[in-house]
Amino acid sequence: MRTPSRPSSKLPILAILHQETSSTGRVGQMLVDKGFALDIRRPALGDPLPDTMSGHGGAVVFGGPMSANDPEPFIKTEIDWIDVPLKENKPYLGICLGAQMLVRNLGGRVGPQKGELTEIGWYPLRATEHGRLLMHWPKMVYHFHREGFDVPRGAKLLAEGDAYPHQAIRYGENAWGVQFHAELTRAMMHRWVVHGAERFGMPNAQQGNQHLEGRMIFDHALKDWLWNFLDIVFDRPAAEANRPAAPAYPAQGNG
C-alpha cells in the first residue's frame, strides 16, 4: 500500500494489477496526489480480493496482456468479483482489460473486430452526447489492444473510435470503463514499445516511433483529461467544484 502525500480521511482505492511488474502509473500518482492511499493487489499472483468494499473508496482494475475470455481461474474470479463494487454502488474504473471484465460481468461481448484489427498507438476519440455532457474529452488517445467490447444493456456509451467504436462506457452512477490508456508515464510507454514491438506488424498497428512522436503531440491533453476524470469517478465533490474550468494536472517529473 502506498501512503498519500498528505494526511487524508479518504478511504484507500483498491488497485488491481495483473503482472508482477505492472504499475498503477499516472492513475496511482494522481490518486495519491488527491489524498487517497492505494491498496495494490495482484489476484493473478494469489492476492485475495475483498468480500466488501466497505474499507475502500473505490476500485481500479488495470489492463494486462491476457483476455477477459481466457480460461484461467483468476479471470473468472475477477469478473465475478466486480459484483461487489456494483452491488455496493462503490466507484469502479476499468482500464482496457478492466473495462472488458466489467462488460463481461454485465453480460456483454468482448472480442476482436472483423479483420482482427488492433489499436496499438494513437487513435482519434469522439465523445458522444452523454460524454460531452460529462466533460471535455481528448481528441487522440493511446491504445494497446486487439479486442474490444460491446455496450452492455443498461450502460451508456461516452466515447467512440474508428476501428473499435466503443471506447468509454458508464454503467449506473459509479461504474466506468475505458478502452484506452491514459495512465502511462513516459517510462511505461518506452517499456511497452520495447517489449511489445512484435505486435507492430498486426493490422492497423502503428510503429514504435509513432507511439513516441504521438506522445509529444497528444499526451498533455490526455494527462489533463485523466486528472479531471479521476475526480468524476472517485471524488465527485471535487469534480463539481472544478466545473466548468477544471485545472490542468500539475506538471510533475517525467510522468
If one counts the domains in the chain, the total is 1
Count of CB atoms situated within 10 Å of the CB of 77: 13
Residue 75 lies in a domain: yes
pLDDT above 70 coverage of the chain, percent: 89
Higher pLDDT, 195 or 3: 195
- The domain of 189 spans 13-242
CA neighbor of 84 nearest in space, from 111, 59, 110, 118:
59
Helix (H) or strand (E) holding 94, with range, is strand 92-95
Q: Is the peptide bond before 4 cis (omega within 30 degrees of 0)?
A: no
Q: How buried is residue 234: exposed, middle or buried, by Cβ count under 10 Å (0-12/13-18/19+)?
A: buried
Residue 247 lies in a domain: no
Residue 205 lies in a domain: yes
Higher pLDDT, 205 or 253: 205
Cβ 249 vs Cβ 51: under 8 Å: no
Q: How confident is the model at residue 7 (pLDDT cuts 50, 70, 90)?
A: low
Residue 3 lies in a domain: no
Strands 58-61 and 13-16: parallel
Q: How confident is the model at residue 238 (pLDDT cuts 50, 70, 90)?
A: low
pLDDT above 90 coverage of the chain, percent: 85
Counting every residue written for the chain, the total comes to 255
Residue 8 lies in a domain: no
Residue 249 lies in a domain: no
Residue 39 lies in a domain: yes
Q: How confident is the model at residue 247 (pLDDT cuts 50, 70, 90)?
A: very low
C-alpha cell at position 188 = 511505461
Is pLDDT of 187 > 90? Answer: yes
Higher pLDDT, 246 or 44: 44
Task: Give the pLDDT confidence of 15-27 residue by residue, as tens digits.
Answer: 999 999 899 999 9
Average pLDDT taken over every residue of the chain: 91
pTM of the model: 0.90
Q: For residue 228, what pLDDT is reported? A: 97
CATH code, domain carrying 54: 3.40.50.880
Q: For residue 55, what pLDDT is reported? A: 98
Q: For residue 140, what pLDDT is reported? A: 98
Is pLDDT of 2 > 90? Answer: no
Residue 254 lies in a domain: no
Task: Give the pLDDT confidence of 210-237 residue by residue, as tens digits.
Answer: 999 999 999 999 999 999 999 999 987 6
Task: Give the pLDDT confidence of 32-56 residue by residue, as tens digits.
Answer: 999 999 999 999 999 999 999 999 9
Is pLDDT of 9 > 60? Answer: yes
